[in-house]
Amino acid sequence: MQDDPVGYSNIRDCVVQITMQDREHKNTFSGRLITGLSEAFERVRADERCKAVVLTGYDSYFASGGTKESLLQIQDRKISFTDSNIYGLALDCPVPVISAMQGHGIGGGFAMGLFSDFVVLSQESVYTTNFMQYGFTPGMGATLVLPKKLGFSLGQEMLMSAKTYYGRDLKDRGVPFPVLRRAEVLPYAVELAENLAEKPRISLITLKDHLVSDLRAELPSYIEREVAMHDKTFHQPEVRDLIQSRYAGG
């Protein structure tokens, strides 16, 4: 359904496409988007035919991180980003996941995409872990996955500076992912998924389990430390002011 914030389709035999398409909220982590993503990955887990997943967004948006309302609720100590485990959905998925980031990846949205087994970026899109622009330290496992996937120096720079980078800038910095024109991102990801789907499912699951075992083992302790940093940084009055001002008119 067009109104569904998360689309689920079998685009090829054994290949599933999960599409984040919450146009109302520009793919920020609204309650409906979180629920839709969780349900979609549960369907993948239950589908014994599925061998690969392509995770993508719509138009110029991949995923945009927390909503204004959720950030203010965290600031008020009413919720935590750990209340839902969307950051770990791709990592915990038994079969390989390809993040086709055809659009902007912002904050937790970028971190979530990096937890996939394969990442494809768009030259024209922007990517940022902009937590520190709001005055609070990163969450969503970003402090683990950025240095791990991008290299320590670039990962640290993105986390601490909170700067915005175009995909073409990251390509120039040597990120180890394909960086393509936006229109080429999804077809490339689908072709990669089809290549994976030629392999036996049990072999794909077994190899993924082995390759991501260290990342899965490390993530809980990083999440615990990120929550502890939030206890120190998220509840400052200036953080609330920054959230309010940066979302003004948005």
pLDDT at 2: 55
Whether 5 contacts 20, CB under 8 Å: yes
Domains of the chain: 6-183 (3.90.226.10)
Choose, from 25, 104, 210, 230, the residue flagged as catalytic: 230
Q: Mind listing the pLDDT tens digit of every residue in the chain (250 residues)?
A: 458 999 999 998 899 999 999 999 999 999 999 999 999 999 999 999 999 999 999 999 999 988 889 898 888 889 888 888 899 999 999 999 999 999 999 999 999 999 999 999 999 999 999 999 999 999 999 999 999 999 999 999 999 999 999 999 999 999 999 999 999 999 999 999 999 999 999 999 999 999 999 999 999 999 999 999 999 999 999 999 998 887 765 4
Can you tell me whether residue 206 is helix, strand or coil? helix
Q: Rounded to 5 degrees, what are φ and ψ at 165?
A: -125, 135
For residue 248, the model assigns a pLDDT of: 63
Q: How far apart are CA 75 and CA 169, in angstroms?
A: 32
Sign of the CA dihedral with 165 first, then 155, 58, and 244 last: negative
Q: Rounded CA gap, 173 and 60, in Å?
A: 22
- Cα dihedral 210/122/170/225 (nearest 10): -50
Note if 104 is an active site residue: no
